[in-house]
């Protein structure tokens, strides 16, 4: 094999490296979401629109960068529902896909917790706390289902033939838009719910509100997967048998 060929060979990462990338990426994403929420709340002088805009921009930029940097390693799921649906697309080099998915999800949840604690600590808040911000009602639950369904469709279509935009840009732009067109501000991620429960700030969610959010996200993920399958490219026809 020539030196030029070796230079263009994609590196092979271990499951441990991929799980670490998932944990680190989720931690930094939640740190960005919560930290920018705290900063926005402090600087916006009570203007919720300005606070949400600042929170949105920080999340979009951070998400784009994290997907670009860590996507080549683990696929940059940062979301248990994305892992459950797309884990087979990630070359894990493992026979036990279910076991690999569990490792990914545990890493994401731990990362979300660490990201929340880091954001709290950076802003001189108690590191260990829970949110008191109640979020609920059919409108917000429907919004979470819509946000998650859309996210799954965007991810599925980002690798489709004829779609030239990068997945990182598509996902970041969709999440940024969903912050504004959904009543729930688009958590769309059980790991995000986990992290945001642990910060009593602008971006938080009370533990009492968490389960319905996660259930709505799960329902949305199922719908999104079904929609994405409608647009799946048909398999090429098999060559007819030739009888001699």
Provide the number of structural domains found in the chain: 1
Q: Is 112 a domain residue? A: yes
Residue 99 forms part of a structural domain: yes
**Is residue 222 one of the residues assigned to a domain?**
yes
Decide if 244 is inside a domain. no
pLDDT digits (tens), the chain, 244 positions: 444 444 456 688 999 999 999 999 999 999 999 999 999 999 999 999 999 999 999 999 999 999 999 999 999 999 999 999 988 765 445 567 888 999 999 999 999 999 999 999 999 999 999 999 999 999 999 999 999 999 999 999 997 766 777 999 999 999 999 999 999 999 999 999 999 999 999 999 999 999 999 999 999 999 999 999 998 866 555 555 444 4
**HSE (CB half, 13 Å, CA atoms) of 242?**
2
- The predicted model scores a pTM of 0.89
Rounded to an integer, what is the distance from CA 182 to the centroid of its chain? 16
Buried b (16+ CB within 10 A) or exposed e, 101-124: bebbbebbbbbbbbbbbbbbeebe
Q: Which domain range does residue 166 map to?
A: 13-230
How many angstroms separate the CA atoms of 144 and 216, rounded?
6
CATH number of the CATH domain containing 107:
1.20.1080.10
pLDDT at 203: 96
DSSP 8-state secondary structure symbol assigned to residue 235:
P
For residue 182, give the nearest of 145, 219, 233, 227 by alpha carbon. 145
- Residue 89 in any domain: the answer is yes
CB 195 within 8 A of CB 178: no
| Residue in this structure with the two tokens 């688009």, named with its chain if needed | 186
pLDDT of residue 95: 61
Q: Is residue 7 part of a domain?
A: no
36 within some domain = yes
Does any domain span residue 2? no
């Amino acid at each position: 094999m020539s030196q030029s060929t070796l230079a263009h060979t994609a590196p092979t990462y271990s499951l441990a490296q991929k799980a670490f990338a998932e944990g680190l990426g989720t931690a930094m994403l939640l740190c960005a979401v919560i930290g920018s929420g705290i900063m926005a709340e402090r600087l916006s002088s009570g203007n919720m629109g300005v606070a949400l805009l600042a929170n949105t921009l920080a999340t979009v930029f951070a998400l784009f960068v994290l997907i670009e940097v860590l996507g080549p390693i683990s696929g940059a799921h940062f979301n248990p529902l994305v892992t459950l649906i797309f884990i087979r697309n990630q070359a894990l080099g493992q026979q036990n896909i279910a076991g690999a998915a569990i490792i990914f999800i545990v890493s994401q949840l731990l990362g979300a917790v660490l990201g929340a604690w880091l954001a709290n600590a950076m802003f001189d808040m108690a590191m260990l706390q829970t949110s008191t911000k109640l979020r609920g009602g059919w409108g917000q639950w429907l919004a979470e289902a819509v946000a998650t369904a859309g996210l799954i469709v965007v991810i599925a279509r980002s690798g489709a033939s004829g779609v030239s935009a990068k997945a990182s840009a598509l996902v970041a732009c969709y999440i940024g838009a969903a912050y504004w067109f959904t009543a729930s501000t688009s958590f769309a991620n059980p790991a995000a719910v986990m992290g945001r429960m642990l910060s009593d700030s602008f971006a938080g969610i009370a533990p009492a509100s968490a389960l319905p959010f996660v259930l709505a996200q799960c329902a949305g993920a199922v719908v999104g997967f079904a929609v994405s399958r409608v647009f799946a490219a048909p398999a090429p026809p098999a060559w007819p048998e030739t009888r001699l």
